[in-house]
Amino acid sequence: MKIYEKEGFAYSALYSEMREKIVRGAFKRGDKLPPKRVVAEEKGVSVITVEHAYGLLCEEGYAEGRERKGYYVTYSEEDWFSTGGEKIIIGGHTGGGKDLSAFSLPLATYKKTARVVLNKYGGALLTRSAKRGTKELLCAVKRYLNRKYGINVSENQIIVGAGSEYLYGVLALTLKDRGVFAVESPSYHKIEKTYSAHGVACDPLSLGEDGVKSEELKRTTAKVLHVTPYGSFPTGITASPGKKREYLAWVQSDGRTLIEDDFESEFALGVKNAETIFSLDKSGKTVYLNSFTKTLSPAIRAAYMVLPQALLKEYEDKAGFFACTVPKFEQYLIAELLDSGDFEKHVNRVRNKLRREKITRV
């Protein structure tokens, strides 16, 4: 099983394998998972690696560790419900007013990278960007999505724009012919406001313990569902694996699209981030949306979305003619931060801070 070690993500690959087994029912709720030493030997990895993988299964709500007894499966497809995870409220979707400077990129890193960009790109700093974003940024985001979330897409599925709100608008223009959009209630107020401003009627679906209530999902006639599965603002609710699968089941019906607004999962306190619905959705009906405005600084207006292949034509027809709204400078800056590792270093620094101080960001 050398592939695990070679990729440097042994625990991650093992986690995925175990998760799949649990979801497919190879292990059922209440089952004990194989002892760490046994798995380590079988897979040819270290016990530490297995420990990491098991820890991640626990954080994601698939299993739980019992003192001196081992790890037990807690996930069950039948009741669409998991043990749920942490409910830390980190609400990046706060708007102005709060001092979030402790979570911004350090000024020194920003300046250093800005100078690298000014020296490196020359005349390209003043030429027009491709509409969806510069090749440099799209490829850097693609690599980042792959290593961080296991999302494997082509760079032509990625579109960058001047902040999440701007991309909500682009999605409204692209999908408004479908009719009503369902949104979480409560949720970040600008989601519904932006859709409404674009003439889209919104159906607010009430939230239960781990996301939109099942009966609400059944009730709505909306064709588009916008969810914030990680640390939803203002409730702090994070969708359980079961709830994510419920969203996935919802989106399977004809003409439905799910918008996964992952506005701040970078600051998840687990070993690794929550798995994305986008990567779980093999049917290609989910849009993944994330923002650098939250993770880098509110002064840097840049967000991105990943469209499933099936939506590319619709996007191109309805909103593909818009020029890119992010200046070249910021595009190169973010690409540099992603490729140099400074972005992940910064995110880890903030996560450690949150962990140490048990900060509740609202």
Interaction site with a second copy (CB under 8 A): 96, 101, 104-105, 107, 110-111, 114-115, 118, 122-129, 162-163, 165-166, 169, 173, 176, 190, 193-194, 197-199, 297-302, 318-319, 321-330
* Closer by beta carbon to a second copy, 186 or else 298: 298
Q: Which is nearer to a second copy, 34 or 327 (CB)?
A: 327
Q: 259: which strand partners? A: 226, 287
Give the nearer residue to a second copy in terms of CB position, either 65 or 186: 186
Distance between CA 167 and CA 324 in Å, rounded? 11
User: CA 44, 46, 52, 55 torsion: positive or negative?
Assistant: positive
Q: What CA–CA distance (Å, rounded) separates 141 from 157?
A: 11
Pull the structure tokens for residue 310.
């099936």
- Residue 190 token pair: 């600008």
**By C-beta, is 173 or 180 nearer to a second copy?**
173
Compute the distance between CA of residue 284 and CA of residue 295 in angstroms, rounded to an integer: 26
Q: Closer to a second copy by CB, 18 or 326: give it.
A: 326
Residue 341: CB minimum distance to a second copy, A? 20
- Find the shortest distance in angstroms from Cβ 146 to a second copy: 26
Which lies closer to a second copy via its Cβ, residue 223 or residue 294?
294
Pairing of strands 286-291, 257-261: parallel
Cβ 171 to a second copy, closest distance in Å?
Answer: 12
Considering only CA atoms, which of 286, 166, 281 is closest in space to residue 224?
A: 286
E strand residue ranges, 195-276: 202-208, 211-212, 224-227, 257-261
Shortest distance, CB of residue 329 to a second copy, whole angstroms?
A: 6
Q: How far is the CB of 140 from a second copy (least distance, A)?
A: 18
Q: How far apart are alpha carbons 9 and 147 in whole angstroms?
A: 9
Least distance to a second copy, CB of residue 91, Å:
15
CA 178 to CA 256: how far, in whole Å?
8
